[in-house]
A = this chain, B = another copy of it.
């Protein structure tokens, strides 16, 4: 934390701030400048709230300096983490391609789509059994029945399963049936659920909240890791802005930003990130070119009849085409596609 004093703050004012810092068991470091003095603070181990110093006479501003995360940080672990999920991995040289429908609708639907995406090169299968929906009156997912269908997909097509958990109960079920537990954007700061995921056996796919800063995103991962589960994969899925030509604004710059600060892998979800079918392929290519560790793509063979999010699902034929495209782009960023 750095305390910036007004130009011409008096010595008494500066002294008073230093005394207040010491009273918090921290150490002040006054830096006299040409126009004004700034006071650095060291010794802050946790997240002590020094914002109160802003009210002292002569203070202009309190600027936070240290980052509060530890386990997610590249400072702690300089090399990239490679996360095992079932028999595959996320974060290494191979791009992860997680594909499947928004929701598991039926055994036939899941099998049909799984067969197609497997053939095209998907490395994991996705499909919602528990759906967080804005309206209580819309389809909420098939629950455990959906999970059982997903388990059969894994068995038949040898595809590890990623599916969302929305509360303690569903998390326990997902931890049992699936290979990776997804925490959705709306639950990114559901700290009880994060802690519970931190005690799960399976790795966690953590989606960025709709208005989460990079720090908050990394702190959410820190919550999971602080409970002992170090297998966390991040996922950018668009943030909320004024722009109205897509459902969310996909923030691809967060990919290199995460990679600078953290050792965790990061995927990109252009289906939710744009919410429009005709934007998915261009933004998927872009995500790979930006250096993402993989993609999450909604694929449906009959999007017009999908029970949810049909408008942001691509057809299997378009997914094939996308796989061809990212295969070529991958080599530019020193990656390979299955």
Q: Which of B49, B239, B277, B282 contacts A308 (CB 8 A)?
A: B49
Smallest beta-carbon distance A109→chain B, Å:
16
- Can you list, as one digit per residue, whether each of A237-279 has a CB less than 8 Å from chain B (1) or not (0)? 0011111111001111111110010000000000001111111
- Ordered by A's residue number, 20 sampled pairs between the chains whose C-beta atoms are within 8 Å are A24-B304, A32-B42, A47-B135, A49-B310, A54-B277, A60-B67, A132-B189, A132-B191, A134-B189, A136-B226, A169-B192, A186-B191, A210-B211, A245-B254, A250-B252, A256-B282, A282-B289, A286-B289, A325-B333, A328-B329
Q: Which of B49, B75, B308 contacts A306 (CB 8 A)?
A: B49
Q: Which of B49, B254, B312, B328 contacts A243 (CB 8 A)?
A: B254
A-side interface mostly = mixed
Given A36-B66, A256-B282, A289 and B288 contact (CB-CB distance below 8 Å): yes
Given contacts A68-B135, A213-B242, 15 further A-B contacts (CB under 8 A): A4-B65, A4-B66, A6-B75, A34-B45, A47-B137, A51-B276, A51-B310, A63-B63, A134-B216, A190-B193, A245-B257, A253-B283, A285-B289, A285-B329, A289-B289
Does the CB pair B133–A214 fall under 8 Å?
no
Does the CB pair A282–B276 fall under 8 Å?
no
Give CA–CA (A215, B244) in the complex, Å. Answer: 9
Smallest beta-carbon distance A34→chain B, Å:
6
A151 on the interface (CB 8 Å rule)? no
Smallest beta-carbon distance A332→chain B, Å:
5
Instruction: List the B side residues contacting A325 at CB < 8 Å.
Output: 332-333
How many copies of this kind of chain does the complex include?
4
Does the CB pair A253–B242 fall under 8 Å?
no
Spell out A's residues near B (CB within 8 Å).
2, 4, 6-8, 20, 23-24, 29, 31-36, 38, 40, 42-43, 45-47, 49, 51-52, 54-55, 60, 63, 65-69, 75, 132-138, 166-170, 186-187, 189-193, 195, 210-211, 213-216, 219, 222-223, 226-227, 239-246, 249-257, 260, 273-279, 282-283, 285-291, 303-304, 306, 308-312, 325, 328-329, 331-333
Smallest beta-carbon distance A17→chain B, Å:
12
The residue on B at minimum CB distance from A241 is B241
Instruction: List the B side residues contacting A46 at CB < 8 Å.
Output: 135, 137-138
Give CA–CA (A49, B151) in the complex, Å. Answer: 28
Q: Which of B211, B252, B273, B329 contacts A242 (CB 8 A)?
A: B211
Q: Which of B34, B67, B239, B257 contacts A279 (CB 8 A)?
A: B257
Does the CB pair B52–A303 fall under 8 Å?
yes
Give CA–CA (A257, B243) in the complex, Å. Answer: 11
Give CA–CA (A23, B250) in the complex, Å. Answer: 33
Does the CB pair B283–A226 fall under 8 Å?
no
